[in-house]
Amino acid sequence: MAITTVRRRTLRLETQVRCAGDADADILLLIHGNASSSVFFDELIEAMAPHYRVLAPDLRGYGESEAKPIDARRGLRDFSDDLAALVDDMELGDRPLHLLGWSMGAGVAMQYAIDRPAQVAALVLESPLPPYGFGGTRDLGGTFCWPDRAGSGGGAANPEYVARLAAQDRSEESPFSPRSVMNSFYVKPPFRVAPAREEELVSAVLAMRTGEGFYPGGAQPSEHWPYVAPGDDGINNAMAPGHCDLSAFADIRPRPPVLWVRGADDQIVSDLSLLDFGTLGQLGAVPGWPGAEVYPPQPMVGQMRHLLHRYEEVGGRFREVVIADCGHSPHLEKPDAFLAALREFLQVGP
């Protein structure tokens, strides 16, 4: 089915939405991750349009949606509240709402479910952000490595990557160019999408706004290794521990069923993430690491599993699907396996 785009001016944000499927069908709302946009979902939109009214909005500061600064002190709520305003504006609140979030978008979906559980019929978490934020925590319960959460937030972003984003660099001349990072970390090398599709995805990454209030957000100096702590604005700070805390998900009522899908070889969200200072310190890539007793690699997968087991203990239901030979983007890398798990979970045919 053809994908169309609409712009909706809600009470919070002017939002661009990619749409497909029967206008009267149940809703499947796709929520993209950081350094991406709804364009990353095109194949998934087309695959699910025979069964749902599929909607894939660009979050604030991404793609073609309005760029409004992000108050990181609210965690992911700027994004989830924007989506709630979109649901209200499109008068979708009285229909079954199925949420599928990828990476940071999965955290946004969980925040939506925390604040509006009665609206959520089912929840799909693809390669989800750790529930206690990205970086700076040490155990399954999300305990901070340092009180000021050093090692997370805007200051943890690679400065060359940030500069090349701002310069709209489309090259592969550096391992820190947006194209190189996409092909090295979003997926498991040597996987690459077709050349024309790759250009679309690179353009989507470069459409992300940078600067104050956006990507990556400000930082504070810290006396603790690695000597940088989160600020209060921007995308990466919204995902920092302390600002981002999704632990309340375990206690929501009603409790929608949850499908958790991840790649076995994800380098971004794993218990040995190559974007985590604990892992980088352990590998010797960042000098001065204080050791595993002080700053271990964040157990990102373990934290999510621990939270979902708590959800299960109080009556929730979840299924974990691990796709072999796959990185951070199962819907792109292994679409057949991803769609099989998704269709089984949602009980729809091919």
* Tens of pLDDT, residues 55-113: 999 999 999 999 999 999 999 999 999 999 999 999 997 888 999 999 999 999 999 99
8 A C-beta contact, residue 268 and residue 103: yes
Which tokens go with 67?
A: 């760029």
Number of domains in the chain: 1
* Tens of pLDDT, residues 38-59: 999 999 999 999 999 999 999 9
Please state, in angstroms and rounded to a whole number, the distance separating the CA atoms of residues 136 and 74: 18
Q: What is the pTM of this model?
A: 0.98
Share of the chain above pLDDT 90, in %: 97
Which tokens go with 10?
A: 């809600």
8 A C-beta contact, residue 329 and residue 263: yes
- What CATH number should be reported for the domain holding residue 279? 3.40.50.1820
* Tens of pLDDT, residues 180-221: 999 999 999 999 999 999 999 999 999 999 999 999 999 999
* Tens of pLDDT, residues 292-344: 999 999 999 999 999 999 999 999 999 999 999 999 999 999 999 999 999 99
The region that residue 126 occupies, defined by phi over 0 for left and psi between -120 and 50 for alpha, beta otherwise, is beta
Domain containing residue 341: 4-346
* pLDDT band, very low/low/confident/very high, at 349 (cuts 50, 70, 90): confident
Mean pLDDT of 122-147: 98
Query: How much is the pLDDT for 93?
Result: 79
CA distances from 188 to 115, 193, 218, 276 (A): 34, 11, 30, 18
pLDDT for 1 beyond 80: no
